[in-house]
């Protein structure tokens, strides 16, 4: 058994000794191939590492993009909710405004009706006042373009308003208030309009020079 073990190295040594050059060439070639394969493997590993890094970066980019998209979608949903609420609020405001407008229109109509009825009542009262005319006779105590004070024996001083419809006669002819003088004799018919005594007709008699009071101009 031992002889067999020692015989194999001896045979290998004999072979190596008999042809050293071809064996060294094969060894160098094998070493060169191994070195090249190692370099190729290292280059492949480096390339794989770079690609892995790129893949990881792409994955991070995708994650960031997904987060950005999720944030944008969240903002979109929130904005849509706000817009929907604003639409509902606007619709409610429009309905409220319509209700208020209708109520204001009703109030205005009612107020207009009240004013119309009040005006009609005043007109009717004025008409009744004109129909219930009163007469007064006396002398003119004071006169202005829009008023006349008559001093009578039974009623004292009575102030009459002069309106555009007041008929003014002086000595039997139509005249203006500018021609009427204090102290003249007057007969007047008047009615109460809006709480004021308003003359309907004035019949004035001029003062005669022989009967003028002393100091009269």
pLDDT reported for residue 21: 66
pLDDT reported for residue 147: 95
Closest CA to 191 of 158, 142, 168: 158
Q: Where are the alpha helices (DSSP H) in the chain?
A: 2-18, 20-131
The helix (run of H) or strand (run of E) holding residue 152 is strand 147-152
pLDDT reported for residue 25: 85
Residue ranges covered by each domain of the chain? 29-132, 133-205
pLDDT reported for residue 2: 45
pLDDT digits over 4-24, tens only? 444 444 444 444 444 556 677
Asked if the model's pLDDT at residue 164 lies above 60, the reply is yes
Q: Across residues 96-101, what is the average pLDDT?
A: 91
d(CA 192, CA 127): 9
d(CA 105, CA 100): 8
Confidence class for position 215, pLDDT limits 50, 70, 90? very low
d(CA 84, CA 72): 18
pLDDT digits over 108-159, tens only? 998 888 888 887 777 776 666 555 788 999 999 999 999 999 999 998 999 9
pLDDT reported for residue 209: 59
For 210, the 3-state DSSP assignment is coil
The per-residue pLDDT of the chain, averaged, comes to 83
Judged by average pLDDT, the poorest of 26-30, 87-91, 171-175, 200-204 is 26-30
Q: Across residues 41-68, what is the average pLDDT?
A: 92
pLDDT reported for residue 152: 94
pLDDT reported for residue 210: 52
Q: Is the pTM of this model over 0.85?
A: no
Looking at domain 133-205, what is its CATH homologous superfamily?
Copper binding periplasmic protein CusF (2.40.50.320)
The larger pLDDT score, comparing residue 206 to residue 124, is at 206
């Amino acid at each position: 058994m031992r002889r067999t073990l020692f015989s194999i190295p001896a045979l290998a040594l004999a072979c190596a000794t008999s042809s050293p050059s071809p064996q060294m060439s094969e060894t160098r070639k094998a070493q060169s191939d191994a070195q090249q394969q190692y370099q190729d493997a290292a280059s492949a590993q480096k390339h794989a590492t770079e690609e892995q890094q790129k893949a990881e970066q792409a994955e991070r980019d995708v994650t960031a993009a997904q987060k950005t998209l999720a944030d944008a979608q969240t903002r979109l949903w929130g904005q849509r909710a706000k817009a929907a609420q604003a639409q509902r609020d606007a619709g409610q405001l429009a309905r409220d405004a319509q209700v208020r407008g209708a109520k204001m229109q009703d109030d205005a109509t009612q107020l207009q009706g009240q004013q119309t009825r009040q005006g009609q009542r005043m007109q009717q009262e004025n008409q009744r006042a004109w129909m219930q005319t009163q007469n007064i006779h006396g002398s003119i105590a004071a006169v202005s373009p829009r008023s006349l004070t008559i001093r009578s024996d039974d009623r004292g001083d009575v102030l009459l308003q002069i309106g555009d419809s007041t008929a003014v006669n002086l000595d039997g002819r139509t005249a203006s208030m500018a021609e009427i003088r204090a102290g003249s004799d007057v007969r007047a018919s008047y009615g109460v309009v809006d709480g004021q005594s308003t003359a309907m007709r004035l019949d004035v008699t001029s003062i005669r020079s022989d009967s003028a009071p002393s100091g009269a101009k």
